[in-house]
Amino acid sequence: MSAPATWNIASVRDSLLTKKASAREITQDFFRRIEARNPELNAYLALSPERALAAADRADAAVAKGATAESLPPLAGVPIAVKDVLSTKGVPTTCGSKILEPYIPAYDATAIERLEAAGAVILGKANCDEFAMGSSNENSAYGPVRNPISPDRVPGGSSGGSAAIVAAGLAVASLGTDTGGSIRQPGAFCGIPALMPTYGRVSRYGLIAFASSLDRIGPFTTNVDDAATILKIMAGHDPNDSTSAPVPVSDYPAEARQDLSGMRIGVPEDYFGAGLDPEVKAKVQASIALLDKLGATRVPLKMPHTDYAIATYYIVATAEASSNLARFDGVRYGIRVTGNTLTDMYRTTRETGFGPEVKRRIMLGTYALSAGYYDAYYLRAQKVRALVARDFSDAFEKVDAIVTPTTPTPAFKLGEKTADPLQMYLADIYTVTGSLAGVPGMSIPCGKTAAGLPIGLQIFGPHFGEGKILRLARGFEQAGGFTI
């Protein structure tokens, strides 16, 4: 088998149907790649070769029985990695934390079930910031992930492992989760498409929660068509998730192929102020000019509550984290550190099992929810969250999509911001707004800095408007925008 440097869904399917390569050969090729590159990147935490090869053999059996392009499952033989906050039956799921080091789930997350039912080959679990809390993937208890474009820099977080895996060619696609930017920001830093669906579009069943009103599951891919295909397979109502929306699933690949004529794109001036790197600003402005040439109409916007988004997010998210992580106490699962009393056991287990950033956020959230402070912090944050959401709903009465930078800077160096949590939090300044509003968002590459670091263009759409985002993203990609 002569393996290409970069596989995608279409090339895997073509290889299977033309019998240029079997799914088993492709899977084995990816495991060889992982063996060669993962020691440097630290992007995979666990591999599942038996499960992966069994799925590959099912794809090969379908081909041997005469499967056609129409009958072969859409992801047959496609190697995919999964962020280690998603439950995988029989495969360790740690959330990047020592407190869950011995945990092996008895069930699969719904998103993974749906991908495997479509023929996907699950290679293993991707490293991530502990409990998805971070913007650099330096908070993992199992060591930081390195950016494959520039290994002295971060890949972004918290889904840094998932992004690095796809950017390095160690999987065709991967799943990440996004709470305040954790899909889009790593996508921008690693130079690949990264999609956060509408809240409720993809079932959260089997996702170990950080902030339940914000967490979402989405794909990293090498092209927009693959993101559309994976979203179509994962999306849809799930009775196991009470927040899963009973909204029909669109034909995202078909929607993505429509031209951009007549599309109205909003450009909010609030996202282009102080702190935006000049090279990032120049590439984003050039990207907007390209969208103009492709037939889209630019509409200036004001989104006045953008400045309050970071403070609002870090109250809402930490409050929910404080509540969600209370379950990790050494009683039911994970590690247990014994003590003289039950309270001692709780304290020592959590002190030993949680890392510094998780402890910081639990304490912030507990304070915001405590008696005498709830109204001043959490309740007020929820009111401001409603104002941020209103900015988006007002904007989408005028436009079909909103275009902004994904991040204020390119990928920063490992260790550069670890001593200053506030500067780290500000890395999410352009992404947390869409998270608070519940709208879908996507980061796509839009060229590189003079030093060769990727830059991301962010596209927001209205609720359940993923098709509009994918349409803009694919039109931009086909016009050469990824390397603008």
Positions marked active-site: 83, 158, 182
CA separation for the pair 484, 481 (Å, rounded): 5
Q: How many CB atoms lie within 10 A of CB 439?
A: 26
Cis peptide before 158 (omega within 30 of 0): yes
Place of tokens 């998270």: 435
Both tokens of 340, joined, read: 């003289």
CA separation for the pair 297, 323 (Å, rounded): 44
Cα separation of the two ends of the chain: 34
CA separation for the pair 337, 102 (Å, rounded): 13
Q: What are phi and psi of 64, to 5 degrees?
A: -65, -30
Are 51 and 77 in contact, with CB atoms under 8 Å apart?
no
Q: Give every strand in the sheet of 121-126, ordered side by side.
A: 44-47, 121-126, 79-83, 173-178, 216-220, 194-196, 441-448, 454-460, 401-405, 264-268, 297-301
CA separation for the pair 390, 44 (Å, rounded): 39
CA separation for the pair 300, 288 (Å, rounded): 12
Are 213 and 205 in contact, with CB atoms under 8 Å apart?
no
Task: Using only the alpha carbons of the chain, give its radius of gyration.
Answer: 21
Are 101 and 334 in contact, with CB atoms under 8 Å apart?
yes
Instruction: Find all residues with CB under 8 Å of 360, minimum gap 6, and list them.
Output: 421
CA separation for the pair 297, 319 (Å, rounded): 40
CA separation for the pair 379, 41 (Å, rounded): 41
Both tokens of 387, joined, read: 């104002």
SS3 assignment, position 355: coil
